[in-house]
Chain A
């Protein structure tokens, strides 16, 4: 019903379908997690304080970060044209698209869960699956400040070697996942 109100959003249809699927999953998962937490905290009262404090700290972190991320994602979906994303990150973007995906991920901008909404909207706007996988992986483990900390604690040899192998394997993984998920993607493009 509310789909009709936003004709500008591509892939909305598919998005809703996915949402319903996972909503069912969460309906089961959420009570299960809550029950597990209540039982654990009941039987191990000595861990209560630490658990609640960790959850609280994390809650603060999310409250401070998430609204900004969601607003940015909203602005992105309203202002950036699909053609622009397709041009720079789509199937014809080639090596430049790969490099851009690595680079976008490397910019130090917070924890991985921040990247999921961004990656999701890039996908909806026509970015190549392999580039999005590269973007997420690079966001996860090729952060500039993180590499410096790694160098300090683990040595430069460890850091450089791990970086090289990560870049290589992440690139291959992107291509492989795109192939594996390929059929699905083609169908989605037909729908929208």
Chain B
């Protein structure tokens, strides 16, 4: 569902944009397409890595494993485990929230849930190669590292408040 919406939106925007651009200025349109092709070539190896890693993660990690690992975990160890799991895994948010809700139901603390959701959405272990390619090594490592710390911070605050 989410994907279909995205696909339609992005491709419609691209087609309309290309059409307008071509109508207004052929030279600039050619330049734009050149940039696009160059971007594809630049990203190709990183995308291949991403494809393989996503397959392996989905094929080998089962939601039940996460549940059994984090199920009745709370406290510092639970938050640490949840943060790492969230950073490595790549789950669509529509599946992630029911999964997190079931974690809480089976005994995980609110802090664990917050840590899991926050690292899951903010940190992309498998997309690191792409991010480095586009943003540079320094910014990528800073962003992912600090996001991890932020996730733990949010988890601790929420665990204390709720």
Contact = CB atoms under 8 A, between A and B. Distances in A.
Contact of B10 (A78, A110, A158, A177): A110
A71 B22 CA distance: 12
A113 to B, nearest CB: 5
B132 A25 contact: yes
A129 B143 CA distance: 11
Interface residues of B, number: 81
Given A68-B13, A177-B143, A78 B135 contact: no
A144 B136 CA distance: 28
B137 A22 contact: yes
Contacts of A78: 21, 28-29, 31-32, 35
A169 interface: yes
A77 B134 contact: no
Nearest to A76: B32
A116 B122 contact: no
Sorting the interface of chain A by its residue count into under 10, 10 to 19, 20 to 34 or 35 or more gives: 35 or more
Q: Top 6 closest A-B pairs, CB basis?
A: A51-B59, A55-B55, A54-B58, A120-B134, A74-B36, A74-B32
Given A54-B57, A70-B37, A173-B147, 20 more contacts: A18-B133, A37-B55, A40-B56, A51-B59, A62-B47, A65-B6, A67-B11, A72-B10, A77-B32, A110-B10, A113-B50, A140-B122, A145-B2, A146-B93, A146-B121, A149-B97, A150-B97, A162-B114, A173-B146, A176-B146
20 contacts: A21-B137, A30-B49, A36-B56, A51-B56, A53-B59, A55-B54, A58-B51, A59-B51, A65-B10, A68-B11, A75-B29, A79-B32, A136-B143, A149-B94, A153-B101, A158-B110, A162-B114, A166-B118, A169-B150, A177-B139
Interface of B: 2-3, 5-7, 9-11, 13-15, 17-18, 21, 28-29, 31-37, 39-40, 42-43, 45-60, 93-94, 97-98, 100-101, 104, 110, 113-114, 117-118, 121-122, 124, 127, 129-139, 142-143, 146-147, 150, 153-154, 157-158, 161-162
